[in-house]
Amino acid sequence: MLKVLDARYVVPSRKYFADVALPHLYNTTREKIRSELEEMQFYSATTDLWSSRTMQPYLSLTVHYINTSWTLRSICLQTAYFPDNHTGDIIAHGLKDALSSWGLSEERLVCMTTDSGTNIIKALKDNNWPSLQCFGHRLHNAIENGVKDPRIDQAIGVCKKAVSAFSYSWKKRRDMTEVQAELGLPQHLLISESPTRWGSRQKMIERFLEQEKAITRVLGADKKTRHLVPTWQDLEVLEATNKAVKPLQDFTDALSGESYVSVSYIKPVLHLFKTSLLLPEEEDLELTKTIKANIMRYLESKYCDLEKEELLDMATLLDPRFRTTYIDASKLEVVKKRAVSEISALCNSTTEEAGPSAVQENTPPKKKMTLGAFFKNSAPSTTPHPQSEKTKIETELATYFLIPDKTLEWWKLHQPNFPRLSLLAKKYLSIPATSAPSERVFSVGGGIVTCNRACLKPEVVDRLIFLAKNV
């Protein structure tokens, strides 16, 4: 067909794509992203370590920031080969090198979200960087801690063996389908637990309970698998576990997004757990109450750190959907004073960098009046003298509490009315609540370093992942 259309056309070879096209695309994309990063004021990041199918170790780095149009941007900067020992000090140097290779200032780093690995935590502490542990990992560990009970271990062991019996037998799967149709059950396959996938155990238990009647009939019909039929005690334990854990799983996915603000949800979610989802009910079994209490106790112990609480308070305050609702009343004035202090520092640094009019450079056209503008114009003046910068900030903060919601869309609309407060919002609302962005990088890497492409060089893997995430 190509020869008919144009006999002179030569189809590019594999060597051309490997040596010319992909390097050119990589360099072009890298320069475009570098110029984009130069315009951002603050950024947050996530990082994690990963081993490929060929057991080569990689260190990922993603950055997150809010651009001038109030869009939350997520960029994968690297998946660098990291053959050194994974100790805290070596990881700390590796992360410093990664930021410097992109010309990113450490002073503009608001927070780095990581898993709960002691080496990663030590690396950030050595670099004196603010950090936040992944909410997904924390919730997963809380659930694991909450279900530590010999009865639960035994019931889950029975569940795993029964699921395994269907996983390795096409005959049992066939019989299962027939029994499901006969009993009017959903035509669902059983789910196996994956230790590296959050919530997979709960999904396995939930599916097992859904198909319990079919499982019991199929396993009971074969004398070789009759011993795998769960007892009523096992089923009662699984139901108690599922009731306590099931309502929590959806929050991990909800807080793992990259295109919307997530860090401001952590305090509201913890409040919801404490006052509703993990609050013992009268009809709960004792085992369910114990699981709920253990999970809540673990989460409270992990979020009692003063530095982390200050960060989460500030993020919640700057989300117009929540503002002061989930901040302890006894700490509210302290949080407000801290916000005023940080805004003053930001305004001073912005003025030094861009001139005296930097804070108010986005003045809207007079014909476009927003509700916030009416509040500002109608605010009573208490003194005939010009207001100090601190007074203006406090007035801005007080007006902000009066106007209804919508996060980044809200901030995009009201930035001209809150030029100082919007600086703080851009700083804190970019923080990811989980390290899922780095986990997604590894998922992309797993699709690139396959059995048929196991000989790819580490620098090629880095380039391909970079292009897959950023083009």
The per-residue DSSP string of 237-290 comes to: HHHHHHHHHHHHHHHHHHTT-SSS--GGGHHHHHHHIIIIITS--TTS-HHHHH
| Furthest-apart CA atoms within the chain: distance in Å | 93
For 273-311, letters b (16+ CB in 10 Å) and e give: beeebbeeeeebeebbbbbbebbbebbeebbeeeebbeb
Q: State residue 385's pLDDT score.
A: 54
CA angle 334, 338, 343 (to 5 degrees): 150
Q: State residue 367's pLDDT score.
A: 46
Question: Are 407 and 321 within 8 A, CB to CB?
Answer: yes
Report CA 199 to chain centroid distance, whole Å: 15
Tell me phi and psi for residue 47, to 5 degrees. -150, 155
The DSSP bridge pattern shows strands 109-114 and 43-51 to be parallel
Can you point out the beta strands (E) in 104-177?
Answer: 109-114, 131-133
Token pair listed for 359:
């804070």
Q: pTM, whole model, 2 decimals?
A: 0.84
Tell me phi and psi for residue 131, to 5 degrees. -135, 160
Token pair listed for 201:
């155990």
Distances (CA, A) of 430 to 66, 180, 230, 235: 6, 47, 48, 44
Residues of the chain with pLDDT under 70: 350-387, 396-397, 400-406
Token pair listed for 267:
């305090």
Q: State residue 404's pLDDT score.
A: 58
Instruction: Render 132-148 in DSSP notation, one character per residue.
Output: EE-HHHHHHHHHHHHT-
Torsion of CA 296, 435, 451, 166, to 10 degrees: 20
In 3D space, the residue among 443, 457, 450, 442 whose CA is nearest the CA of residue 48 turns out to be 442
Token pair listed for 239:
């139901």
Q: State residue 400's pLDDT score.
A: 67
In the chain the domains, ranked by start, together with CATH numbers, are: 36-129+435-470 (3.30.420), 140-302 (no CATH), 326-427 (no CATH)
Q: State residue 378's pLDDT score.
A: 40
Distances (CA, A) of 119 to 116, 205, 217, 349, 433: 9, 33, 49, 34, 20
Q: State residue 401's pLDDT score.
A: 64
Tell me if residue 193 falls in helix, strand or coil. Answer: coil
